[in-house]
Structure 1
Amino acid sequence: MESRDLIALNQMVFYAYHGVYDSEKELGQRFIINFKAELDYEQAAVNDDLEQTVNYGEVYIKIEEIFKAKKYNLLESAAYNIIKGLFINFPSLEFIEIEIKKPAVPIEGVLADAAIKMSRKRTEVI
């Protein structure tokens, strides 16, 4: 069986101004982002060395930076840009999955949130 090393950042909460409707872009709302990635961090584990893996704090900062850089109409576009930016900034990442949840979705009805999930291999984006 092939080994898979994973890292994750769960339930990151950001306030941003995304959505199709003008009111969403003016008032903003909370979004919840989950991040998962595959990379080979065996050497980091063996050597107990942060330089041989990905710094979670730096990943968090980059996700927030990309997510807040502009007002996206679609969460799909935001997710794609986050994935692309992470691949550019973190060469050791091989596969990324981003889930974005929108708790205050403008739908008449009762639901916890609307969400999108996108995953890409490095070769599919760059």
Structure 2
Amino acid sequence: MLTIALEQATFYAYHGFYPEETIIGNTFVLDVAVRIPGTVPVDDLSETVNYQGIYEVASLVMAIPRPLLEEVVYELSDALKQRYPAIQHSTVTLRKMNPPMGASIRNSMVSLEKQY
């Protein structure tokens, strides 16, 4: 298997369950790793998953506010599989930095791993 990934892509977005989160927004850090068959060497971009394409899909998904981070990771996983049918496995991890909980917490995190 061949792994293509983006690590620590940072977005400012408006995901959150509480109304103030959808107004104020927050910083989110996204890690995405996908795996495709890797039995032969790749020498053309059309034979792989373009990590710029991963970022483009992530940007579109992150731009739509959702109440739960779980919704975001499922949507991103599904959108990547739709754009790149060769994907056989994906891991999408989303961190909300400094979640508004009244406590000193670096981040909350939701991670989804899917086998196709």
TM-score normalised over the length of structure 1 = 0.86
Partner deviation per Cα, 1:44-82 (whole Å, 9 max, x = no partner): xx25211111111111101111121x2100000110000
Identity of matched residues, %: 26
Q: Going by fraction, where is helix more abundant, 1 or 2?
A: 1
Partner of 2:81: 87
The whole-number CA distance in structure 2 between the counterparts of 1:47 and 1:71 is 36
* Contact 1:41/1:52 (<8 A) preserved: no
- Report the CA distance between 1:115 and its aligned residue: 0.5
The whole-number CA distance in structure 2 between the counterparts of 1:113 and 1:121 is 26
| Partner residue of 1:118 out of 85, 93, 112 | 112
Which residues of structure 1 form unaligned runs of 5+? none
Correspondence 1:30 to 2:32: no
Correspondence 1:20 to 2:17: yes
After superposing on structure 2, the runs of 4+ consecutive aligned residues of structure 1 that deviate more than 2 Å are none
Q: Going by fraction, where is strand more abundant, 1 or 2?
A: 2
Partner of 2:61: 66
User: Compared with structure 1, are the counterparts of its residues 21 and 50 closer, same or farther at alpha carbon in structure 2 (3 Å cutoff)?
Assistant: same
* Contact 2:6/2:33 (<8 A) preserved: yes
Amino acid at match of 2:70: E
* Contact 1:17/1:27 (<8 A) preserved: yes
Amino acid at match of 1:48: D
User: Compared with structure 1, are the counterparts of its residues 47 and 26 closer, same or farther at alpha carbon in structure 2 (3 Å cutoff)?
Assistant: closer
TM-score normalised over the length of structure 2 = 0.93
- Report the CA distance between 1:26 and its aligned residue: 0.7
